[in-house]
Amino acid sequence: MLSFYAAKIKIIFPSKKYVISKFFRNIAPKITLKTIDMKRIFISMTGIITCMNLMAQTPVSFYPQENDQDINIDTHLVIVFDQTVKTGSKGMITVTDKTTRKVVDRIDMSIPAGPTEGQPKNPNAVYTPVPYIYKVENVTNRNTRPGTPSGAAKEDKRKYQKTIIGGFSDAFHFYPVICHGNKATIYLHNNMLECGHEYEIKISKGTIEGWNGKKSWTFRTKKNAPSADLRHIVVAADGSGDFSTLQGAMDWIPDSLPSEASRKKVFVKNGDYEELVYFRNKRFVTIQGESMDGVVVHYPNNEVFNPHPVDIKTNEQKGTFPSRRAAVAADNCADMIFKDITFKTDCKGQAEGFLLNGERNFAENVHVIGDGDALQVNGSAYWLNCVIDGGGDTVLGRGPSYFNHCTLSSYGAFMWIRNTRENHGNIFNDCTFKGLGKDAVIVRLPDNKGRNYPDAECVLLNCTLDGVPSEGFGPIDESASTANLLEFNSHDRKGKTIDISKRNKHVRQLDALKDAETIGKYSNASWVLNW
């Protein structure tokens, strides 16, 4: 006798002809009560049993584990299941201080993570009437309501998941649970856990599809935070470092360190860091990964998910309202060093992998992956041996930026430069441009709703062009005809000089002899960046 078990249903096949029970037929109405062959019933049963299994997810491990000690206060909660899982749309995640019995964090999964469509244009939106003020204050989810307006923006009262990151009280939309394969990662509101506390986690049914949740499990955080005197701290995704996230490390570092002598270094071990990173007012900090390809900091963020305030226009001028759409943003930061690391957005649209605002910042062996506006730079920055991949307007901002031995790839225009006459634009020395689409021109300066950038500047020195259209630059509106677009010794990947006979008329070709002084100046990063 052959028996099958599906949940509480027992199905018996007593002979060469097989009959389905009435109860089983109610589950699979397409299967009739008549006798059928073994092959057909086996296929039907396999499909039904598979569906039932998908609705009965079983966790195989938790992080932190039950009664774990010395857990970092910036930890995510990770649950590994026996099969593929999906994020649910109901249920609660609750964190309680086990000593005081106070609920320190609560996430309602019925609240959507964030917008999925772009917000309507507001014809009454204005540029911020006063420059945005970057206050030095300790603003976190523990002491401030997420969504509290800063600057001139009005409060966005739409009901989405919100968390304060890096002191930005207006808050970011975020995903409380992100599932990949059989792993679910739970993101608590930032900065809610404290050192030396024991926490109880409760997850109700609906948080993960097909899982009944967990009544509770507990863990204890590290007794103390790293000493304020430390100059070198370690980030490790597996929890073995001083912090588990880059954001946690940057939150620990004080604002506006006074000098090079006080510089602090954040060393990030190889690992996958899926986190939304935003920090501001940092100075004299080095962020160095273990390897460029081994350390990937990324998040699914863009202008739709974290849009600009509907009542405030954005621009490239100093003092504009801060952007929240980048995967990683260093805002109002100076004298920073970024090395051996990848910053990446997982979204399409206006989506920076890295947004850098500030002065005298340096990046080496940094890989930036984005879509539109993949890298936005406002303020002076030097880029050495970096890789920048984007979908179009791949480098955006007012600069100045000096790129040395960098590789850029783009499906659309490589840049939309927006510098004013106050500073230089984007200078490329011995860089490689890889065009991935028919519109992959170096620069475009079209009319921008009645505005343009007549002082925009782009200079190419000894660069390799691969897949770049013959016109090289454009479209360039007449309102930007005074832009300073210079090119010297561009060649293809085999070293052959590029045919410039069809170049855009607004581009000036430099001569090695006649323009030696100009070439010399633009070859000098200190002259370009005013360092």
This prediction has a pTM of 0.89
- Partnered with residue 445 across adjacent β-strands are 476
H or E element at residue 146:
none
H or E element at residue 48:
helix 38-54
Domain 372-531: give its CATH superfamily.
Answer: Single-stranded right-handed beta-helix, Pectin lyase-like (2.160.20.10)
Segment 242-259 shows an average pLDDT of 98
Lowest mean pLDDT among 62-71, 424-433, 472-481: 472-481
Segment 136-153 shows an average pLDDT of 94
> Could you give the angle at the alpha carbon of 224 between the alpha carbons of 219 and 228, nearest 5°?
145
Burial call 128-158: b when 16+ CB within 10 Å, e when fewer: beeebebeeeebbbeebebbeebbbbeebee
Residues 6+ apart with CB under 8 A from 393: 372, 373, 412, 413, 415, 416, 444
Three-class secondary structure of residue 390 per DSSP = strand
Lowest mean pLDDT among 16-30, 56-70, 205-219, 277-291: 16-30
- Of the candidates 398, 405, 395, which has an alpha carbon nearest to the alpha carbon of residue 443? 395
Q: Are 256 and 307 in contact (CB under 8 A)?
A: no
- Of the candidates 370, 385, 386, 185, which has an alpha carbon nearest to the alpha carbon of residue 272? 185
Is residue 230 pLDDT above 70, yes or no? yes
User: Residue 48 — very low, low, confident or very high, per pLDDT cuts 50/70/90?
Assistant: very low
Q: CA dihedral in degrees (457, 459, 464, 467; nearest 10)?
A: 30
Q: Are 490 and 515 in contact (CB under 8 A)?
A: no
- Of the candidates 241, 207, 214, which has an alpha carbon nearest to the alpha carbon of residue 225? 241
- Of the candidates 286, 480, 456, 468, which has an alpha carbon nearest to the alpha carbon of residue 366? 286
Q: Which pLDDT score, from 0 to 100, does residue 128 have?
A: 81
- Burial of residue 166 (CB within 10 Å: 0-12, 13-18, 19+) is buried
- Tell me the per-residue pLDDT of 447-473, one tens digit each, with 9 for 90 and over: 877 778 999 999 999 999 999 999 999
| Look-up of token digits 């890298």 | 375
- For the chain, give the number of residues: 531
Output 232 or 121, whichever has higher pLDDT.
232
Is residue 424 pLDDT above 90, yes or no? yes
User: Residue 55 — very low, low, confident or very high, per pLDDT cuts 50/70/90?
Assistant: low
Q: Which pLDDT score, from 0 to 100, does residue 104 have?
A: 98
- Of the candidates 465, 448, 357, which has an alpha carbon nearest to the alpha carbon of residue 410? 465
Boundaries of every domain in the chain: 2-54, 59-218, 228-301+324-365, 372-531
| Look-up of token digits 């930890």 | 75
Q: What is the Cα 1 distance to its own chain's centre?
A: 58
Q: Which pLDDT score, from 0 to 100, does residue 123 have?
A: 87
Lowest mean pLDDT among 28-32, 63-67, 161-165, 285-289: 28-32
Count CB-CB contacts under 10 A for residue 6. 14
Output 153 or 100, whichever has higher pLDDT.
100
Lowest mean pLDDT among 90-104, 114-128, 162-176, 284-298: 114-128
User: Residue 314 — very low, low, confident or very high, per pLDDT cuts 50/70/90?
Assistant: confident
Count CB-CB contacts under 10 A for residue 182. 15
Is residue 54 pLDDT above 70, yes or no? no
H or E element at residue 435:
strand 432-435
Output 31 or 189, whichever has higher pLDDT.
189
Is residue 419 pLDDT above 50, yes or no? yes
| Look-up of token digits 């954001």 | 247
Q: Which pLDDT score, from 0 to 100, does residue 23 have?
A: 40
- Tell me the per-residue pLDDT of 496-528, one tens digit each, with 9 for 90 and over: 999 999 999 999 999 999 999 999 999 999 999
Is residue 341 pLDDT above 60, yes or no? yes
Is residue 18 pLDDT above 50, yes or no? no
Is residue 45 pLDDT above 70, yes or no? no
Count CB-CB contacts under 10 A for residue 94. 16
Distance CA 335, CA 462 (A): 28
Output 509 or 55, whichever has higher pLDDT.
509
Which tokens is 151 given? 């600057």
- In the chain, the N- to C-terminal Cα span, in Å, equals 85
Lowest mean pLDDT among 128-142, 250-264, 282-296: 128-142
Segment 156-166 shows an average pLDDT of 97
Q: Which pLDDT score, from 0 to 100, does residue 443 have?
A: 96
Which tokens is 152 given? 């001139």
Please report the beta strands in 300-374, taking only residues with DSSP state E, as ranges in sequence order.
312-313, 328-334, 337-345, 354-359, 361-369
H or E element at residue 263:
none
Please report the beta strands in 112-257, taking only residues with DSSP state E, as ranges in sequence order.
126-127, 162-165, 168-173, 177-180, 183-186, 198-203, 214-221, 232-235
Q: Are 281 and 258 in contact (CB under 8 A)?
A: no
Which tokens is 445 given? 């300066």
Across the chain, what does the average pLDDT equal? 90
Residues 6+ apart with CB under 8 A from 397: 316, 375, 376, 377, 378, 417, 418
- Tell me the per-residue pLDDT of 374-415, one tens digit each, with 9 for 90 and over: 999 999 999 999 999 999 999 999 999 999 999 999 999 999
Is residue 422 pLDDT above 70, yes or no? yes
